[in-house]
Structure 1
Amino acid sequence: MEEEILSRVPITSLRAVRYTCKRWNRLFKDGSFIKNHCDKEFLAIKGNGSKVCLMSINLHRNQPIKQIGKIKLRYTSRFIHCNGLVLCFLEEGNITRLVVWNPYLGQTRRVEPRSYGKKDKYGFGYDKNNNHKILRLIYDFMYNLTQEIYDLKSNSWKVLPTPSAIVPTYILGYPCVSVKGSSYFLAKERGDKAVEVVGKAFFLLGFDFTREAFGPRLELPYLSDVEDYKVLSALREEKLVVLLRGRSYTHEMEIWITDKVEPNTVSWNKFLAFNFATVTGFKYSVCVQRGFFVDEEKKVVVFSEMTAYGPHNETGGCIIREDGYLKKVDLGEEPSSDGPSVCSYYAPSVVQI
């Protein structure tokens, strides 16, 4: 009975309630209790300007998205979330610094790399022992790759062997996504002297933090042109989601969800297909690169940025169903020049950082 009552406490009040007594504190450390709670209410992460915000999502409300907490940092809109922790990227001149944040516990931790660079690529995940790790990919001007990994438990960096196969270049503007502790990247092959290999489609690479190695090339749902949009997201950190949109002059979009995903294998099912211009009556455009997430049960997609055509440039989020249903939603703040980035289904974590 006590656990059932506590499960009805709003997720934003859990930190205050857990410290009421030792017995409740032990209960809140139980991963199954947190999981059951999150099945009733879920959160998302939004980056905007100098803030990373925690958003409450309830599609039954008139205003389904509500800001409930934030951390103020100097950073671009880049971040990765994994197992309740958020890896934020702070821009200081030509240097990118790293901060790990646990929104549930209110803890932050600065991670100092072995050297500093602004265009490095990062992954974030955990191994089979639940040790959280950061992957850093460092390219020189010829796209030669150095791989480094940071273990939060040991507070140390180490250099990994470089793959002997063709090294793909991770596409700028597309963050990696963490699913089941592994990181997934959109990639494209390059040949000698960093020249793109003509005719090669984009694909996925998964990094396994237990093996500390990349898996083989993973195919997207179908071969896609270099001018197509391809944006990754995740569903409860259990499934990989990809949005595929045709060239810029088209409005047709498809969203696919994995029914199986591991660093060495992937299979896809089509989730939604729609024409954005038809759904909005040709009144709005959507920036798919700024972030989206899906609700598999209600079969809807939520975009973090939709902009009205015309002089007023009205901007906000939106919810779309395949049957043509459209609902505008207020995300609480105007987007920054880097735009908001929404990650799906953040779940609280008691992982100490």
Structure 2
Amino acid sequence: MANLPEEITMDILLRLPVKSLVRFRCVCKHWNRLFNSPALVKAPRTWKLESRLLLKYCSEDVTRLGIRSQRNTEEFSFDISPPSVIGKKFELVDSSNGIICLYTFHRDDSGASRIFLWNPTINDLFTLPQPPSPVPEYLVGFGFNPLSAHLDDFKVICINLRLEYKDRERKRHSQVEVYSLRTNSWKQLGDRYPSYLNGHLGNQVIFNEFICWYPYVQVNKQSVLTVFDVAKEEFHEMRLPNSMPSDGKQIGLLDGCVSLWAHNPSEGYEVWTMKVFGNLESWTKLYTIKIFARSIARYQPLGLASVKEALLLNTIPRGLRHRSPSYISLYDMERGRFSESFRFTVDSIYGNRLVTHAESLISPSYSAQAERR
């Protein structure tokens, strides 16, 4: 390929799997420079990147990651490990454009808490500069701004809450801080956190330029989604249909749409999806998983592992004197039964995450250090 024009070489390379491109860095110095160039890293791919599932859980007091292709029925591979600098325990926020956002939280030493952007495909880890305020425990968000036309326009949101007592009244103040990878800097937005929200937003999903949470609170007795617009850097909420059960909701993505698993005590879990983002009338109930109804075991959905499979966290109560074990299991919705080969113990029912992830060549370290125009 040495004699081919560079534009033809680029066209060929863009059709290859990302893992192959990573290996090709060793061919020669010219190719190594080419694979670090924005022309290749940020070029639109000529094929649809394979979507994979990334599972985060804690076992034996160590945070672990598993990965699974959504194209076939292979089990999760648990040979993916973040760099040792992150430590044994961390939180997984979300993944976008091949970049995973992780953070560590140290209750006794807030200055030791760190936020990381990691691309496991090229094993590139970038540690964010410390935010002006301490890294919060449950109020870290991660998003992407596709409107800027830059594939590395990632942002991290930190929300710090402070209570103030004055004249026997308790007032809450917030400081919303946004980090931009393209400027490698933090910006304080002030007291922007919605007053109806508490100190735990729960899991998030990324849809276009929006970060979406279901925060387990109601506004005027109405269930809502809380949304942060990464481009405009502002919060707003979206109403949910009254016909949707109000209990036990879990947010996720399904076929590229924001979805919710809503607990119906008499039926099980209903799976809803918002066909048109922001349109209340577009919410549609797809199906109900009745395995949860009238069961001794307690089930919590983590998300869909495939079109026909759901990943569930289940706990069987053993009374007040004994600790109830928790398991992550694979449930075949078509056959109505659990997989016999996929079940493992986790330390807690909290902190387990299932997110979608795609390979990419984007280097957060290079993006943060590149000279900005």
TM-score (norm 2): 0.72
Show CA shifts across 1:199-255 (max 9, x none): 62331121111111123x2123436676x111111247x4212111135xx561011
Is the 8 Å Cα contact of residues 82 and 181 (structure 1) preserved in structure 2? no
Instruction: Name the Cα RMSD after superposition.
Output: 3.9
Question: Is the deviation greater in 173-182 or in 149-158?
Answer: 173-182
Q: Distance in 1 between matches of 2:275 and 2:330?
A: 26
Corresponding residue of 1:213:
234
| Counterpart check, 1:201 vs 2:222 | yes
Q: Equivalent residue for 1:305?
A: 313
1:143-158 alignment, distance < 5 Å: 143-158=172-187
Return the index of the structure with the highest Cα Rg.
2
2:139 paired with 1:124? no
- SS class of match (2:282): strand
Length, aligned pairs only = 326
CA offsets 1:53-86 (integer angstroms, 9 cap, x no match): 240235743x532224121534344422222212
Deviation at 1:134, TM superposition (A): 0.9
Deviation string, structure 1 residues 285-308 (Cα, Å, up to 9, x no partner): 4233xx22354xx3x342142346
Work out whether residues 201 and 225 of structure 1, in 8 Å CA contact, stay in contact via their aligned partners in 2: no
Match of 2:262 in 1: 244
Number of the residue aligned with 2:156: 134
Shift of 1:5: 11
How far has the Cα of 1:114 moved from its partner? Answer: 0.9
User: For the Cα contact (< 8 Å) 1:242–1:255, is it kept in 2?
Assistant: yes
Q: Which amino acid aligns with 1:177?
A: V
Change (3 A) 1:51 1:16: farther
Task: Quickly say closer, same or farther: Cα 1:91–1:245, change in 2 above 3 A.
Answer: same
Please tell me whether the aligned partners of residues 292 and 343 of structure 1 are also in contact (alpha carbons under 8 angstroms).
yes
Identity of aligned residues (%): 16
* Selected match of 2:253 from 218, 234, 258: 234
Paired residues of 2:138 and 2:199 also in contact (CA < 8 A): no
- Cα 1:231/1:106, change in 2 over 3 Å: same
Q: Measured at CA, do residues 323 and 87 of structure 1 come closer, stay the same or move farther in structure 2, by a change above 3 Å?
A: same
Other-structure match for 1:75 = 89
CA contact 1:148–1:157 (8 Å) conserved in 2 = yes
What residue is the counterpart of 1:16 in the other structure? Answer: 23
Contact between 2:57 and 2:352, CA under 8 Å: does it hold in 1?
yes
The reply on whether 1:342 has 2:353 as its aligned counterpart is: yes
CA distance in 1, matches of 2:317, 2:46: 42
**Aligned equivalents of 2:290, 2:12: Cα separation in 1:** 43
Distance 1:88 1:145 in 2: 22
CA distance in 2: counterparts of 1:167 and 1:314, whole angstroms: 34
For the residue of structure 1 that corresponds to 2:102, the secondary structure is: strand
Amino acid at match of 2:75: P
Asked if the contact 2:249/2:260 (under 8 Å) is kept, the reply is yes
Does the Cα contact within 8 Å between 1:171 and 1:188 map onto a contact in 2? no
- In structure 1, stretches of 5+ residues that fail to align are 190-195
Task: Give the one of 304, 324, 327 matched to 2:336.
Answer: 324
User: Displacement, 1:38?
Assistant: 0.8
Q: Give the TM-score normalised by the residue count of structure 1.
A: 0.75
> Quick check: 12-21 or 148-157, which moved more?
12-21
Q: Deviations over 1:259-312 (max 9, x none)?
A: 1225x878322222121246xx95854233xx22354xx3x3421423467799
Q: Is the 8 A contact 2:297 2:316 kept in 1?
A: yes
DSSP-derived class of the 2:353 partner:
strand
CA distance in 2, matches of 1:106, 1:244: 37
- In the TM superposition, what are the counterparts of 1:177-196 in structure 2 within 5 Å? 177-187=205-215
What SS does the aligned partner of 1:160 have? Answer: strand
Match of 2:303 in 1: 292
| SS of equivalent to 1:116 | coil
Query: What secondary structure does 1:16 align onto?
Result: helix
Specify whether residues 266 and 176 from structure 1 end up closer, same or farther in structure 2 by C-alpha distance, changes over 3 A only. farther
Partner of 1:193: none
Offset of residue 340 of structure 1: 5.9
